[in-house]
Amino acid sequence: MSQVAIKICGVRTPDAIDAAMRGGASHVGFVHFPRSPRHLAPAALADLAPRVPEHVARVAVLVDPDDAIIDALIAAGGLHVLQLHGREEPARVAAIRQRTGLETWKAIPVKSAADLAAGNAYAGAADRLLFDAKTPEGAALPGGMGHRFDWTLLAGHRPPLPWGLSGGLDADNVAHALRLTGAPLVDVSSGVESAPGIKDMDRIAAFCEAVSRC
Ligand SMILES: O=C(O)c1ccccc1N[C@@H]1O[C@H](COP(=O)(O)O)[C@@H](O)[C@H]1O
């Protein structure tokens, strides 16, 4: 049985949550970013969140959020984790973590080895780093586009805080990614979809199955 934690991100429907639960996901992610096809407003989050069992972490994915939207989402979703996916500096991450008392993750966009070091500045500010592929300059989204980076960059890298891997993972490549990186947590969104924002239950099952075999 795999010890690797699984986050299924960008869920928008009860059946996607149920599929993540059947697959043994430890985290489900709700995106609040109006440009995203996975965007959920607080009211929609409030409808969906109770579907997630208590032992599974509810993660809000946010891009440079202000305090008001963080508070609205926490009130709506009974959140456990905030995933900051924008250009939040360490001081802002630390302030959000301190003010909310929630586990706080910082996404680190990676294209080259030099990008990995950017994560070190978040030691003491964030609870976890999420190494994600850097999306192209001018892209509509800072994540959730199915891009991957060169996973061999992470071989031998020892981040100073817990971490996870995301960006372009799917059922066909996640075992390879885990072999190369040894990631303790994998995060997937577009790789378990049939179209942007449309989760595919069979792909969620196949992804979780592939991780559980590792
Ligand atoms: O999924 C989105 O629409 C999104 C929007 C804004 C910030 C992050 C977003 N998604 C996150 O991107 C990574 C990788 O996703 P993928 O598997 O490559 O599609 C993941 O952490 C999503 O939560």
What are the extents of the domains in the chain?
A: 5-212
How far apart are the two ends of the chain, measured CA to CA in Å?
Answer: 8
1 pLDDT above the threshold of 70: no
Least confident window among 114-128, 140-154, 164-178? 140-154
- Residue 84 contacts residue 96 (beta carbons within 8 Å): yes
Name which CATH class applies to 5-212.
Answer: alpha beta
Span 65-87, average pLDDT: 95
171 pLDDT above the threshold of 60: yes
How far is residue 103's CA from residue 115's CA, in Å, rounded to a whole number?
23
Which pLDDT score is estimated for 38?
96
Q: Report the sign of the C-alpha dihedral through residues 69, 75, 76, 78, in that order.
A: positive
Percent of the chain at pLDDT above 90? 89
2 pLDDT above the threshold of 80: no
Ligand 1 pocket: which of 6, 8, 9 to mutate (most atoms <8 Å of CB)?
A: 9
CA distances to 125, 142, 169, 171, 206 from 15, in Å = 35, 26, 21, 19, 15
Span 83-92, average pLDDT: 96
> Measuring from each residue's beta carbon to the nearest atom of ligand 1, which residues come in under 6 Å?
9-10, 29, 31, 33, 36, 38, 61, 63, 85, 130, 132, 141-146, 166-169, 187-191
